[in-house]
Structure 1
Amino acid sequence: MKQRVTIIGATSGIGRALTVEMHERGYVVGATGRRLERLEELRNQLKTNIHIQYMDVAELDDAINQLDQLKKDMGGLDIIVLNAGVSNYQKESVGRQADLHVIDVNVRGFANLASYSFNLFEEQGYGHIVGISSVASLFGWGLNIPYNASKSFVNTYLQGYRQKANHSDADISVSTILPGFVESEMTDGKKDLFWVQETEKAAKQIADAIERKKNEAFITKRWQLVGWLVKMTPNWIWNRM
């Protein structure tokens, strides 16, 4: 039986590219997002073994119901990739309401689906939770405070569930994916970015990490060096940047 993977946030960037990559590797794929026209485009492109479902992860109860419906349509669920996320790296969108919107999507929306999926996988005896974090999760940054903080939450949250999985009778894997700069709507028009990777290459490395059930993977691999440098940098240096 083909493995069934659902990608939450599949209408653009890494999510869309990963949907195509997993489909090409022979998976039955479920794709969710808020932009139905883009989901329809994906279904028309891939044609078979693709199921789509509208989902706004900030609508917590609706998101669970929609995941259940998608699981039913697919005949089950083996892997869930939690990719939906937003950023407010724009001067016109800085402020309390903008910060809370990022938290609603990247923290509450993420935790809602991750915790539900873990319980689901415990009941069925197996499963794989994959969370898309970011290298930005490793430090606080004044120009994108809620995004970096929300991705730091993702890291710690998944680490906790990974430990919980190790003490579970079920065969559950938990993977944290930390991309650097990848071509997407989040990076469009931004200057002074470095090591910006093609979306398709990033998707291939993420798919490899999923298949190897890695605990943690930097995408692309060179960003592991940046992660090490960030962890070694004293706080007083960060505070003066």
Structure 2
Amino acid sequence: MKKRMVIIGATSGIGEQLARLAIRNGYIVGGTGRRVARLKALKDELGDNFYTHQMDVTLFDEAKTALHNLIDRMGGMDIIVLNAGISNHPASSIVAMEQKVIDVNVSGFVQLFGEAFQYFRKQGHGQIVGISSIAGLFGSSRAAPYSASKAFISTYMQAYRQRCNRIKEDIPVTDIVAGFIKSEMTEGKRGMFWVAETDKAVEQILHAIEKRKPVAYITRRWRLVAWLIHLMPDRLIDRLW
């Protein structure tokens, strides 16, 4: 029986390429996003095994309804990939911009994580995948809300992983710790290195999902960077970022 994967945030970058790869590998895939035209174009490309639903993760009640509607049309859900996220947002002030990042990356994530967790508990199995970032390992003066939001995601997923172990639920929680990957979000940004092609990154992401890994660094070399960051004293990190 084909596995059913829902990708929250499937209209660009990692989410879009993951949808393509999953379809090629025999999954039934549901994709969400705010941009209807992009969802329609992806549906036209991927065909009958790809289902779509418009979703704004900051409209919490509507997003929950959209998720369950999509699950019903797909005939179920085995895996959810929580990929929706932003690094900045046009706004009238820094405070408003930072609040928008938190609304999307933290509040939107938590709402849909909770819906998926309860769905999988009732079903008896399922997998939750969250896209965090190497940026979550340290505070960044240039992207304070983004780095903080990704740290939250990793810690939140770790706590739920422990909870599932304690209550013996068959719900693996996979933290995809992404380094620099070519996408609209990283386009034009300075100071990046080891920038991975989207296809290569997504292949490693799908492999980590299928192996039900608790944590996966994408691409794998970023594990070394994470190790070095953990060894650095705070006074050095504060000078670097």
User: What's the TM-score once normalised by structure 1's chain length?
Assistant: 0.97
Per the alignment, residue 196 of structure 1 pairs with 195
Per-residue CA shift, 1:174-226, capped at 9, x if unaligned? 00001100000111111231111100111100000000000000000001101
* Distance in 1 between residues matched to 2:183 and 2:228, nearest whole Å: 25
Structure 2 matches for 1:225-236, cutoff 5 A? 225-236=224-235
Q: Specify the code of the residue in structure 2 equivalent to 1:105.
A: V
The answer on whether the counterparts of 2:127 and 2:171 sit within 8 Å (CA) in structure 1 is yes
Structure 2 matches for 1:150-165, cutoff 5 A? 150-165=149-164
Per-residue CA shift, 1:137-194, capped at 9, x if unaligned? 0000000000000000000100011011112343111000011000001111112311
Structure 2 matches for 1:173-188, cutoff 5 A? 173-188=172-187
1:170 is aligned to 2:169: yes
- Contiguous gaps of at least 5 residues in structure 2: none
Per the alignment, residue 42 of structure 2 pairs with 42
The answer on whether the counterparts of 1:89 and 1:143 sit within 8 Å (CA) in structure 2 is no
Structure 2 matches for 1:81-100, cutoff 5 A? 81-88=81-88, 95-100=94-99
Q: Tell me the secondary structure at the aligned position of residue 47 of structure 1.
A: helix
Q: Tell me the secondary structure at the aligned position of residue 172 of structure 2.
A: strand
Per the alignment, residue 29 of structure 1 pairs with 29
* Distance in 2 between residues matched to 1:205 and 1:211, nearest whole Å: 10
Identity percentage of aligned residues:
50
Q: Tell me the secondary structure at the aligned position of residue 217 of structure 2.
A: strand
Q: Tell me the secondary structure at the aligned position of residue 156 of structure 2.
A: helix
Q: Tell me the secondary structure at the aligned position of residue 65 of structure 1.
A: helix
* Distance in 2 between residues matched to 1:240 and 1:67, nearest whole Å: 43
Per the alignment, residue 130 of structure 2 pairs with 131
Structure 2 matches for 1:10-89, cutoff 5 A? 10-88=10-88
- Contiguous gaps of at least 5 residues in structure 1: none
Q: Tell me the secondary structure at the aligned position of residue 175 of structure 1.
A: strand
* Distance in 1 between residues matched to 2:106 and 2:115, nearest whole Å: 14
Cα pair distance change 1:133/1:93, threshold 3 Å? farther
When structure 1 is superposed on structure 2, of 162-171 and 50-59 the one drifting more is 162-171
Q: Tell me the secondary structure at the aligned position of residue 99 of structure 2.
A: helix
Q: Specify the code of the residue in structure 2 equivalent to 1:181.
A: F
Q: Specify the code of the residue in structure 2 equivalent to 1:100.
A: Q
Cα pair distance change 1:13/1:94, threshold 3 Å? farther
Q: Specify the code of the residue in structure 2 equivalent to 1:239.
A: D
* Distance in 2 between residues matched to 1:28 and 1:93, nearest whole Å: 41
* Distance in 1 between residues matched to 2:88 and 2:216, nearest whole Å: 25
Q: Tell me the secondary structure at the aligned position of residue 2 of structure 1.
A: coil
Q: Specify the code of the residue in structure 2 equivalent to 1:120.
A: Y
User: What RMSD, in angstroms, separates the aligned Cα atoms of the two structures?
Assistant: 1.3
After TM superposition, what 4+ stretches of structure 1 lie above 4 angstroms from structure 2?
none
Q: Tell me the secondary structure at the aligned position of residue 172 of structure 1.
A: coil
* Distance in 1 between residues matched to 2:169 and 2:190, nearest whole Å: 46
